Amino acid sequence: MKYWLMKSEPDVYSIDDLAHDGKTMWDGVRNYQARNFMRDQMQTGDLVFFYHSNAEPSGIAGIAKVAGKSYPDPTAFDKKDVHFDPKSKKEAPTWYLVDVAFVQKWKQVLALEEIKKIKGLEGMLLLQKGSRLSVQPVLEKHWKILTRGGRV
């Protein structure tokens, strides 16, 4: 079992949208590192912090889980989609995604500002200056600290 953090702008897709949909395709990721995590390392059942970026406040909004094996991102093949990428061919897809399912919404977003104050999160990717990675692994010890107190 691995742990992850996935960023989404709530104006585009929020934890409430996921709660409503139950499950969603995590499409549109166009960063190789993020893709590699989804394609090669995510396993069904892995837990995910749903992170609101560019938000008021930015922070962890709840928990989701990986709902299946990775597969090619269909939006890369769709000329009309904003995430269309002519380089990605159906025979050799460039971009992959996983389905993500809703687990829980936290009563309150755990704001980045608060996360920064929590002891024991040294080395967490999210807190590294300039880390824009939208899909990133979370160490189990960091996961445990951040979920302490059952922040449901």
C-alpha 83 chain-centroid distance: 17
Question: Of residues 46, 134, 142, 143, which one binds DNA by CB under 7 A?
Answer: 134
> Is position 54 an interface residue for DNA (rule: CB under 7 A)?
yes
> Is position 33 an interface residue for DNA (rule: CB under 7 A)?
yes
> Is position 30 an interface residue for DNA (rule: CB under 7 A)?
yes
> Is position 31 an interface residue for DNA (rule: CB under 7 A)?
yes
- Collapsed DSSP state (helix, strand, coil) of residue 72: strand
> Is position 114 an interface residue for DNA (rule: CB under 7 A)?
no
Q: Please, are residues 14 and 52 in contact by the beta-carbon 8 Å criterion?
A: yes
Question: Of residues 16, 21, 32, 144, which one binds DNA by CB under 7 A?
Answer: 32
> Is position 131 an interface residue for DNA (rule: CB under 7 A)?
yes
Residues that bind DNA (CB under 7 A): 7, 9, 30-33, 53-55, 58, 87, 112-113, 128-134
